[in-house]
Amino acid sequence: MHARVMTGLIQPGKMDEMISIYRDSIVPAAQEQKGFKGIILLTDSHTNKIISISLWETEAYMKAGETSGYLQQQIGRVAPTLATPSVREAYEVSVHV
């Protein structure tokens, strides 16, 4: 399994809006992607930092979302709430319960 981890800072006062976009738009879109295994959004309302972790069956499925335009579309949905550009990293999942 593979994970895409994205971190970013949300503009002050925009956290609830970002969470709504994530829950109502990004999660359903992710669930339609081939190889999708799960998604988690972590938020810190004191620092406005967010961490999004999406899980993918294989690295190929994870990368397919990057080349198809899917990932860019999702980033575009939350872009108006971001204070800084998001940072994207990829990992192999070594333990998952």
Q: What average pLDDT does this structure show over 85-89?
A: 95
Q: What average pLDDT does this structure show over 72-86?
A: 95
Q: Coil, helix or strand for 14?
A: coil
The domain 2-90 having CATH identifier 3.40.50.410: the answer here is no
Domain ranges of the chain: 2-90
The Cα–Cα gap between 54 and 7 comes to: 12
- Residue 77 pLDDT: 95
- Residue 37 pLDDT: 97
Please compute Rg for the chain using Cα positions. Answer: 13
What band does 80 get if pLDDT is binned at 50, 70 and 90? very high
DSSP state of 86: -
Strand 49-56 and strand 2-9: the pairing is antiparallel
The Cα–Cα gap between 96 and 88 comes to: 20
- Residue whose tokens read 């204070």: 83
